[in-house]
A and B are shown apart, each in its own frame.
Chain A
Amino acid sequence: ELKVEQNPLFLSMQEGKNYTIYCNYSTTSDRLYWYRQDPGKSLESLFVLLSNGAVKQEGRLMASLDTKARLSTLHITAAVHDLSATYFCAVDQRRGGADGLTFGKGTHLIIQP
């Protein structure tokens, strides 16, 4: 059974600081996804990571994937209040994505002025 674990589950940080969210998964998987969710809203796709060593960056967020370690990280650089949200990582249950995604429990991120 595929398991996806995120840590931390809750993070409060100050603006301007850097931090990393970690996502571990238990079995070999095809792709890893990062989503953002604002309170009461839908899930917004941030990154799709396809291969070992993949690194993607968008603004103050950077995601990386190490398939050998079964680990992905989401790094936040010089955090700003607008990045406050819940961040989920998710993994394809089967190659091609047909069987749906297994999600981590999410990291609730609060960025304070």
Chain B
Amino acid sequence: NAGVTQTPKFRVLKTGQSMTLLCAQDMNHEYMYWYRQDPGMGLRLIHYSVGEGTTAKGEVPDGYNVSRLKKQNFLLGLESAAPSQTSVYFCASSYSSLVAGDSNQPQHFGDGTRLSIL
């Protein structure tokens, strides 16, 4: 079982460059999320999606865009990378409340993408 797969795993960018991080899940989850993790900060939500074709802003959305054209994929874009976006990015997915109800289904996380912006 692949679960949640993130590509690439590592990337170094120069300030002003653009790139897209890809997240793919094979669990038929409705909900998908992008978080960033910085030292001593825990994880912070960037954007999320509750279904194909829908996206919404999280806690720290500035400088990022997302798209969910297919249910299994959630893309995170950086249009003009800045050093402040150096971080580890995690994608996660989960069942919707309609499917999971009150069950104890957690969010499932990918292995992360380590992004450095010089």
Pairs A–B under 8 Å by Cβ, sample size 17 = A31-B104, A35-B106, A42-B110, A42-B111, A45-B106, A48-B106, A96-B97, A97-B100, A98-B31, A98-B50, A98-B96, A100-B48, A101-B33, A101-B43, A101-B45, A103-B42, A105-B42
Given A43-B90, A50-B102, A98-B96, decide whether A105 and B40 contact each other with a Cβ distance below 8 A. Answer: yes
Given A95-B97, A96-B97, A97-B97, decide whether A103 and B43 contact each other with a Cβ distance below 8 A. Answer: yes
Interface size classification for chain B: 20 to 34
**A45 and B108: CB pair below 8 A?**
yes
**B90 and A98: CB pair below 8 A?**
no
CA distance A42 to B100 in the complex (A): 23
Q: Chain B residues near A100 (CB, 8 Å)? A: 33, 35, 45, 48, 58
Interface size classification for chain A: 20 to 34
User: CB of A82 within 8 A of chain B?
Assistant: no
Residues 12-31 of chain A, each 1 if its beta carbon lies under 8 Å from chain B, else 0: 00000000000000000001
The residue in chain B whose Cβ has the minimal distance to the Cβ of A105 is B42
Residues of B participating in the A interface, judged by any CB pair closer than 8 Å: 31, 33, 35, 40-45, 48, 50, 56, 58-59, 90, 92, 94, 96-97, 100, 102, 104-112
The residue in chain B whose Cβ has the minimal distance to the Cβ of A108 is B40
**B44 and A103: CB pair below 8 A?**
yes
Report the minimum CB–CB distance from A39 to chain B (whole Å). Answer: 11
Query: Sorted from nearest, which 9 A-B pairs have the closest CB atoms?
Result: A96-B97, A45-B106, A48-B104, A103-B42, A100-B45, A43-B109, A105-B42, A103-B43, A42-B111
User: CB of A68 within 8 A of chain B?
Assistant: no
Q: Which of A33, A41, A103, A105 contacts B106 (CB 8 A)?
A: A33
Known: A50-B104, A97-B100, A101-B43. 10 other contacts (CB 8 A): A31-B104, A33-B107, A41-B111, A43-B90, A43-B109, A48-B105, A97-B97, A102-B45, A102-B59, A103-B44
